[in-house]
Chain A
Amino acid sequence: MERLAISLLDGTNAVLVLMLVSLGLAIIFGLMKVINMAHGEFIMLGAYGVMALTEAGLPFWPALMLAPLIVVAIGLVAEELVIRRTYTRLLDTILATWGLSLVLRQAIILLYGPGSHAVAAPDLGTISLFGSPYPAYRLVVMGLSLAIIAGTIAVFFRTRFGLAARAVIANRDMAACLGIDTRRLDRFTFAFGAGLAGLAGAVMAPLISIDPAAGLGWLVPGFLAILVGGLGSLAGPLAGAAGIGGLDSFTSTLASPIAAQLVVFIVAIAVIRLRPDGLVARRRRQA
């Protein structure tokens, strides 16, 4: 019973972080039709950011706040130098971002070496949950992730930026005709999505082994989540991440992580087969 409760909590933790990852992927794809293969590296950079900042003497919490901003800056530069040059060529965006991910990984290897690093979690002690101790930091991770997810939804449905972004998702050319600066919006969107990934990496930094390949493991689940959930809305990726992340932690606990990967993949393919537009399909207006 105790073990079950703990693994449920760990599973929830993984699901919430995966939600951040797939939200970023889905926003970038929805707006810009860019499949961002470097998303995993943005996660990895978030974790390295926390590591570098704490090593430079900054306390943990400010480092946690600053690291995603560094990733936002890197996202802005990448958008300007690479992404915007391949906008009209969908398959080439995959290649360009795949190349970007290789470059970012190698840059990190040059700077910090190929080995793995660790960041000490802030000592928040444990909290007794369901009669067993649970690290408080993990609860903080969950709370932060929830807050950011809620914040993202608020940005999209309560701000002018969000309104413009939704207009571009619905009909890019029409939005441009109405005077929305789609170029500026693309830049913001890419940086925003990168920032979400960076934040996911930053909050997970004390919980994972930080190495140059740390982000790769998130990339495939993130993509499966948005494929399963559907791309038409913000609810799609969230639902997909809940399904993929939940199934993954559940099977990992019951069997093994490798069995979990297989099961998740097979279930994801089955879902995509049965519902090609995803679980939360946007209703299309009939023309």
Chain B
Amino acid sequence: MSMANRVALAALIVFALLPLIGSAGLTADLAIYFAYALFAVSLAFVWGQAGLLSLGHGVFFGVGAYAMSILTLGMTPGLTDLHSTWIGLVGAVAAGALAAGLTGLLCFAGKGLAGAFFGVVTLAIAFIAERLATSSTWLGGLNGLMNVPPMTLGLNGEGRAIFDALPLYYISLATLATAMAGLSWLLAGRFGVLLAAIRDNELRIWSLGADVRRIKIQAYVLSGAVAGLAGALFVTQFGFASPSLIGFSLSLDVLIWVAIGGRDSLIAAALGAITVRLLESRLADLMGPVWPLILGLMFMASVIFFPRGLFGSLIAALERSGRRQDS
């Protein structure tokens, strides 16, 4: 088992036992942070594994959140009786995948945009998506969609609604763990090898006969789907979807989480998101507007001094010491 997987398993055990000792407030906070962590995982998947630096990843999270809200609020055009959590989840995943697919087609078709400018184009898409959401009266304009119902177990919004912190905590954790296990399984196989190879030398893989463009779009669609799922998971707990989810600010946030946590492995990104959000919730009140400044400095420092991120460097260090003991 690789060191990253071992760390992931250890983290899963710790988080599974945490509600036994942690306060109710912490459990409720963490349930939402797991949705953020899932979002960070979706970015680390394309950035760390495929080398696609997506600066506008918030679009897919936001699209998922809005899709979930529309489908459970009964706002679907022509289907006003629809309130199903299940269809909402499917819709959010599909919406995230679709948005990512369109972006991928736009960016990777033909000669394709060189790595750096791919990021700029995705950023432009995030700006436009935020403007569109803000100006759309159907989507509630600047206020967004409010009173999004919590998850319900029934087929169409009836049955038991999940309000309590503890079930929410375990649902979020299970979703995060399942998605990460699935992605890790993919990365361990042929697809993961191809992605890493494209990241390291795209031209070589292309000349070896792989359909680079298709693989990149596949990876991006998968990432968009996971981000959409994260958005849905988030909005059922948070209760409203606003334009800030779909655009610039959350895109920058997730980039910071992944950069600070580590882009090379999914677990490092997830822990980065959870750590930064935890710090933020404990320190933001204390420090007020100084906090984003400190976050920005931490972000820059981690880019310059720890390009692998805090948890990424830690995992690498554990790996080295493990090898030394083996030999």
Residues of A with Cβ closer than 8 Å to B?
Answer: 35, 82, 85-86, 89-92, 94-96, 98-100, 102-103, 106-107, 109-110, 114, 216, 219-220, 223-224, 227, 258, 261-262, 265, 269, 272-273, 276
- Report B103-141 CB contacts with A as 1/0, cut-off 8 Å: 000100111010111011101110110011001000000
Q: Which residues of A contact B135 (CB under 8 A)?
A: 258
On whether the beta carbons of B124 and A98 are closer than 8 Å, the reply is no
- In the bound assembly, the distance between CA atoms of A103 and B259 in angstroms comes to 16
Chain B residues touching A, majority SS? helix
Asked if residues A273 and B109 are in contact (CB atoms below 8 Å), the reply is: yes
- CB A45 to nearest CB in B, in angstroms, measures 15
> CA A102 – CA B292 in complex, angstroms?
8
Given A261-B128, A276-B110, A276-B111, A103–B290 Cβ distance below 8 Å? no
The 9 closest A-B pairs by CB, nearest first: A102-B296, A99-B300, A106-B293, A103-B296, A99-B299, A95-B303, A223-B120, A106-B292, A276-B111
Report chain A residues within 8 Å CB of B296: 99-100, 102-103, 106
Query: Besides the contacts A220-B123, A258-B131, A269-B121, what 14 more A-B pairs have beta carbons closer than 8 Å?
Result: A35-B119, A94-B116, A95-B303, A96-B303, A96-B304, A99-B256, A99-B299, A106-B292, A106-B293, A107-B293, A262-B128, A262-B132, A265-B128, A273-B109
* A103-B53 contact in complex given A223-B124, A272-B113, C-beta closer than 8 Å: no
Residue of B nearest to A216 (CB): B248
Q: Tell yes or no: B19 within 8 A of A by CB.
A: no
Indicate if the CB atoms of B111 and A103 lie closer than 8 Å: no
Q: Which of B131-186 contact A (CB under 8 A)?
A: 131-132, 135
Question: Chain A's nearest CB lies how many Å from the CB of B137?
Answer: 13
Complex Cα distance, B297 from A269, in Å, reads 33
Q: Is the CB of A94 within 8 A of B55?
A: yes
Nearest residue (CB) in B for A29 is B116
Name the residue on A nearest B297 (C-beta): A103
Nearest B residue (CB) for A277: B111
A82-B252 Cα distance, complex, nearest whole Å: 18
Neighbouring B residues of A107 by C-beta, 8 Å: 293
Rounded to whole angstroms, the CA-CA distance of A102 and B302 in the bound complex is 14
Q: How far is the CA of A90 from the CA of B118 in the complex (A)?
A: 12
Question: Min CB distance, B315 to chain A, in Å?
Answer: 19
Known contacts A89-B307, A94-B119, A261-B131; is-contact A103 B300 (Cβ 8 Å): yes
Shortest distance between the CB of A33 and any CB in chain B (Å): 9
Docked CA distance A216–B109 (Å): 28
